[in-house]
Amino acid sequence: MELIDAKLVLPKSGTVVFLIDESLKLSPQLEKLNKSKEITKALKVSGFFKGKKGQALNIISSSSTLDRVILLGVGSADEVTALSVLSVGGRLAAHANCLELEAITLMIEANAKWKIDSAELLYNLALGAKLRNYRFNKYFVSKESEHKVFLKKITLCHDIAKAKEMLKEVHSLSDGIFLTRDLVSQPPNVLYPQTFAEECKKLEKLGLKVTVLKEKDLAKLGMNALLGVGVGSVRETHLVVMQWHGHPQGNKQKPIAFVGKGVTFDSGGISIKPATGMGDMKYDMAGASTVTGLMKTLASRKAKVNAVGVIGIVENMPSGSAQRPGDVVVSMSGQTIEVDNTDAEGRLVLADALWYTQSKFQPEFMINLATLTGAIVVSLGENIYAGLFSNNEKLAEKLLQSAETSGEGLWRMPLKDAYDKQINSEIADVKNTGNGKGGGSITAAHFLQRFVNKFPWAHLDIAGMAWDKAGSDISAKGATGFGVRLLNQLVMNHFEKKKN
């Protein structure tokens, strides 16, 4: 969807959208259209329209040359915030598509009573609309017309000095989120380790350095935990390293690191999953997809930071060559791991990926993302919070602040020695499941922590956040792209070299 930058002048044709709060007070530009009192009359006779957040009132005017005027509610004046406006932008895109509109004009007028300035208003309306307008329609052929996205262009009329720069940031962020959504949505016969790595290589055109390590490279490095997950599949396992060098001080500045679990399909291996719902396991690579989308965003907006994204990409399948429950593997760290359950494979992927990242790059911190456990969904539900585990209070606090600002929720979960003891093995240094019946997401986090050393680290368990079966104001049903906004916010607010 195209975003057009324009001056705050009423157009002479087309569909024009105005924001209005629950006071139903008309904005200055809307007053200009109300000379014949058509707007006032429409508000009076509509009955249902109260200016609540996301409500829309369509007015066909007989006294102007416009095709249609849409009044879009933003809710109570004292509750208009950046996040509420983000939702309003999403609902605008949904409404426009319901009306089969290909182009609309949106008037951006600030209101002194709203807790948001014109620049924030424009940014969040534009971002919300773009995010909601996304659809993964690639595989509809005979039913293509039933899934058409009509909205192609929004003209944003405003008087904001830095609007063009802000809209570029909207495009950079949304493009990263869309890449994440695309990757998560692809079927596993199309997206597997090799083709995922090929998608990453395409990002080199943005200035990223992308290195793909294949099985022979991983074997030399001793990544037997990662390799063990994929031995039952005909698909070769890969590790992809994406580097962005954007800090003014060059390589003198330590990179920040993001690590993702990329299981392109998770059958559970020998510890096979139930058939019901197994098709959903195509998105068990959402952590790796988020890292990839984030790296695209950082490169697209030329972020003033050094960053590295590392993703372990593997397919977990049962076969005669598959890893067995009871096997012991030697990880890159040298620690031995008893594989108690082959369906607890994501932590094996991350164990080697985390060790490789800290050993090679000595980063300022590491954040890993993974659809790691069903237990986190039991704890926190779906599409509300991701679980946050961290060994560093400052990093955790910065993540929680960024979550609140971006609207991508995190909930801090505990790390305690009592849980760590549950992953001690009787035959190896550690085992990949806990002894207890509960706390599965916590013992999984403790497993990862054993491969972190003393580096500041955070683990985000996004199992309940990567896919939304109902959809939201800013995301249609399906892949959400969770984490890209959150981590981009973290980088901007706390780690990026500020512009002079």
Looking at the fold, whether 447 and 306 belong to one and the same domain comes out as: yes
Same domain (yes/no): 139, 198: no
- Tell me the pTM: 0.97
Question: Which pLDDT tens digit goes with each residue over 137-163?
Answer: 999 999 988 899 999 999 999 999 999
Please identify every residue annotated as catalytic. Answer: 273, 347
Q: What is the spatial distance between Cα 132 and Cα 487, in angstroms, rounded to a whole number?
A: 20
Whether residue 467 contacts residue 283, with contact meaning beta carbons closer than 8 Å, is answered with: yes
pLDDT of residue 499: 52
Q: What is the pLDDT of residues 19-43, one digit of tens each?
A: 999 999 999 999 999 988 999 999 9
What pLDDT score does 232 carry?
A: 98
Residues ≥6 apart with Cβ < 8 Å to 225: 329, 331, 332, 337, 348, 349, 351, 352
Residues 454 and 406 in one domain: yes
In a domain, 65, yes or no: yes
Total domain count, the chain: 2
- Average the pLDDT over 92-104 and give the result: 98
- 128 and 229 together in one domain: no
For 276-302, the pLDDT digits (tens) are: 999 999 999 999 999 999 999 999 999
pLDDT at residue 98 greater than cutoff 90? yes
15 and 151 in a single domain? The answer is yes
Domain shared by 268 and 386, yes or no? yes
Assess if residue 166 is contained within a domain: no
pLDDT tier at 454, thresholds 50, 70, 90? confident
For residue 165, being part of any structural domain is answered with: no
Q: What is the mean pLDDT of residues 232-244?
A: 98
Q: How confident is the model at residue 57 (pLDDT cuts 50, 70, 90)?
A: very high
Q: Residue 498: is its pLDDT beyond 90?
A: no
Would you say residue 62 has pLDDT above 80?
Answer: no
**Mean pLDDT of the chain, nearest integer:** 96
Tell me the pLDDT band of 487, cut-offs 50, 70 and 90.
very high
What pLDDT shows up at residue 110? 83
Q: Is residue 139 located within the same domain as residue 179?
A: no
pLDDT, tens digit, 9 for 90 and up, residues 399-422: 999 999 999 999 999 999 999 999
Compute, in degrees rounded to 10, the torsion defined by CA atoms 8, 11, 15, 20.
Answer: 40
Q: Are 56 and 95 in contact (CB under 8 A)?
A: yes
Residue type, 317: M
* Poorest-pLDDT segment among 58-62, 170-174, 280-284, 407-411: 58-62
For residues 405 and 488, membership in a common domain is answered with yes
Is residue 167 one of the residues assigned to a domain?
no
Residue 289 placed within a domain: yes
* Among 132, 160, 188, residue at a domain's last position: 160
Domain stops at, among 137, 160, 183:
160
- Structural domain ending residue among the three candidates 114, 136, 160: 160
pLDDT at 319 over 90: yes
Report pLDDT digits (tens) over 246-263. 999 988 899 999 999 999
CATH number where 396 lies: 3.40.630.10
Domain span at 446 = 172-495
Do 221 and 113 share a structural domain?
no
Question: Residue 251 falls within a domain, yes or no?
Answer: yes
Would 80 be classed as within a structural domain?
Answer: yes
Residue 464, pLDDT > 90, answer yes
CA 344 from centre of chain? 23
Q: Give the pLDDT score at 350.
A: 99
Looking at the fold, whether 121 and 237 belong to one and the same domain comes out as: no
Is residue 500 assigned to a domain? no
Q: What is the mean pLDDT of residues 87-108?
A: 98
pLDDT band at 63 (very low <50, low <70, confident <90, very high): confident
Same domain, residue pair 153 and 189: no
Q: Could you give the CA distance from residue 368 to residue 351 in angstroms, rounded to a whole number?
A: 10
Percentage, residues of the chain above pLDDT 90: 94
pLDDT of residue 452: 97
**Spacing of C-alpha 250 from chain mean position:** 28
User: What CA–CA distances, in Å, run from 324 to 108, 340, 372, 389, 419?
Assistant: 60, 8, 20, 29, 25
Q: What CATH number corresponds to the domain at position 27?
A: 3.40.220.10
pLDDT at 78: 95
pLDDT band at 437 (very low <50, low <70, confident <90, very high): confident
- 138 with 210, same domain: the answer is no
Token pair belonging to 286: 């959402």
Q: What is the predicted pLDDT for the residue at 500?
A: 43
3-state secondary structure labels for all residues of the chain: CEEEEEECCCCCCCEEEEEECCCCCCCHHHHHCCCCCHHHHHHHHHCCCCCCCCCEEEECCCCCCCCEEEEEECCCHHHCCHHHHHHHHHHHHHHHHHCCCCEEEEECCCCCCCCCCHHHHHHHHHHHHHHHHCCCCCCCCCCHHHHCCCCCEEEEEECCCCHHHHHHHHHHHHHHHHHHHHHHHCCCCCCCHHHHHHHHHHHHHHCCEEEEECHHHHHHHCCHHHHHHHCCCCCCCEEEEEEEECCCCHHHCCCEEEEEEEEEEECCCCCCCCCCCHHHHHHCCHHHHHHHHHHHHHHHCCCCCEEEEEEEEEEECCCCCCCCCCCEEECCCCCEEECCCCCCCHHHHHHHHHHHHHHHHCCCCEEEEECCCCHHHHHHCCCCCEEEEECCHHHHHHHHHHHHHHCCCEEECCCCHHHHHHHCCCCCCEECCCCCCCCHHHHHHHHHHCCCCCCCEEEEECCCCCEECCCECCECCEECCCCHHHHHHHHHHHHCCCCC
